[in-house]
Amino acid sequence: MNRVDPSWDLYRTFLAVLREGSLSGAARSLGLTQPTIGRHIEALEQAIGFQLFTRSQRGLAATEAALELLPYAEALSSTAASLLRAASGQGGTVKGTVRVSASEVMSIEVLPPLLTALREQYPELVIELAVSNTVEDLLRRDADIAVRMVEPSQESLVVSRLGTIPLGLHAHRSYLDRRGTPKRFEDLATHSVIGFDRETPAIRSLLKSVPKFDVARFALRTNSDLAQLAAIRAGFGIGVCQVALARRDPNLVRVLSDAFELKLGTWLAMHENLKSTPRCRIVFDALAVGLKGYVER
C-alpha cells in the first residue's frame, strides 16, 4: 500500500488551530468553515497516527505530540511564505514582496518615510513590515531583511552596521511644569518614572553603564516601547526615548543629559542568498542609506 503524505493544507490548518486554540478561531483566520477545519485535523491525525488535540473547557488543548510538531509546522509556513515572495519578484523589473522585520519604535517612528520613498521609486514593490521586538530568524526566512538592535551572530548573513542610536531621559513640558525638572539622579525618586516590566539580557546590558538608574521605582511598567513613548508624550512622567525622536517634538525635553545616556547599536541584515535578488538588494541598500542618515542625525 502506497503511503500518501499529508498535504500542506493540513499542516497549515494544524498550525492555525494551535495558534487560535479552537476550530472556530482557525476557521476565521484561514477563511474556511469550521467543519472543514475539523476534517483537516482528523485527516492529519489519521495520516501521522496519533492525536493532536484534546477538548477542554477552554477549547482545544494541544497534546505533547502536537507541541513537538509545532516548530516543523512553523518552518513549513515560513518556507511557503518565502516561496511566494520569491515567486512574486520574478522578471527583469524591481517588483514583488520583501518582508522587513523591525522593532516597534523603528517600524512606527522611523521606517515609514523610508518605505514611502521606496514605493514611490518602485511602484511594483510590496513591503511586508513585521513589527516585533523579537529577533526574526533570517536563516529560516521568517523575514528577508531585519533591522536589529542586537548584533547578528548567525553566519550566512549580509550585515551592515549602521552605528549607535543615543537614548536619553525625556519628559513632556507639561509634566516638568507640574513636577519640576530633576537636577540629580537622586531626584528621580520623587518623580514618575516610566520603564519596562521585564529585564531582558539586552536591557540588562544597556543599563550596566548607568548603575544608579533604579528600575525598582518605575511608576509605569510596560513591555511595549511604543507604550513607554506614548506615556512620555502624554505627560505621565520621565522615560527613555531615542534622542533623535525626541528632537522632532518641541514639547519633549531631555533631562539629566550629563548623567544618563545609553548607546543602542543598530544593524541591518539579510540572508546572503538574497543579495543578488534585485528587490531585496534595492530595499537593503535603501534602508542602509536612510537608517545611517537617521543614526548620524
What's the CATH number where 229 sits? 3.40.190.10
Same domain, 272 and 257: no
- Which pLDDT score, from 0 to 100, does residue 96 have? 85
3-state DSSP assignment of residue 147: strand
157 and 168 together in one domain = no
Same domain flag for 278 and 152 = yes
Q: Are 218 and 194 in contact (CB under 8 A)?
A: yes
Residues 258, 180 share a domain: yes
Q: Is residue 283 assigned to a domain?
A: yes
Asked whether residue 247 falls in the same domain as residue 269, the answer is: no
Strands 193-196 and 218-222: parallel
Please count the structural domains in the chain: 3
Point out the domain boundary residue: 53, 77, 101: 77
pTM beyond 0.85, yes or no: no
Q: Quick check: is 219 in a domain?
A: yes
Residue 188 near residue 255, CB atoms below 8 Å: no
pLDDT per residue of the chain (297 residues) written in tens, 0 to 9: 345 567 778 888 888 888 888 888 888 888 889 889 888 888 888 888 888 888 776 778 888 888 888 888 877 776 666 666 565 555 556 788 899 999 999 999 999 999 999 999 999 899 999 998 876 666 566 788 999 888 887 777 889 999 999 999 999 999 999 999 999 989 999 999 999 888 777 777 777 777 777 777 899 999 899 999 999 999 999 999 999 999 999 999 999 999 899 999 999 998 888 888 888 889 999 999 999 999 887
Q: Are residues 70 and 93 in the same domain?
A: no
- CA distance from start to end of the chain: 68
**pLDDT at residue number 93:** 63
Are 279 and 151 within one domain?
yes
> Which structural domain, as residue segments, surrounds residue 250?
164-263
pLDDT value, residue 8: 77
Whether residue 140 is found in the same domain as residue 168: no
282 inside domain: yes
Q: Is 3 inside any structural domain?
A: no
Q: Do 27 and 146 lie in a common domain?
A: no
Does 105 fall in a domain?
yes
Single out the residue in 35, 55, 77 at which a domain terminates. 77
Please indicate, yes or no, if residue 110 is contained in any of the structural domains: yes
What's the rounded Cα separation, in Å, for the pair 227 and 133? 13
Same domain, 207 and 236: yes
Domain assignment present for residue 1? The answer is no
Q: Which of 77, 106, 129 is the last residue of a domain?
A: 77
Q: What is the pLDDT of residue 2?
A: 45
CATH assignment of the domain containing 17: 1.10.10.10
Cα 221 to Cα 111, 131, 143, 215, 295: the distances in Å are 26, 20, 30, 10, 27
CA within 13 Å, CB half, 290: 17
**Residue 141: HSE in the Cβ half-sphere, 13 Å Cα cutoff:** 17
Q: Report the distance separating Cα 19 and Cα 87, nearest Å.
A: 27
Is 155 in the same domain as 279? yes
104 and 169 both lie in a single domain: no
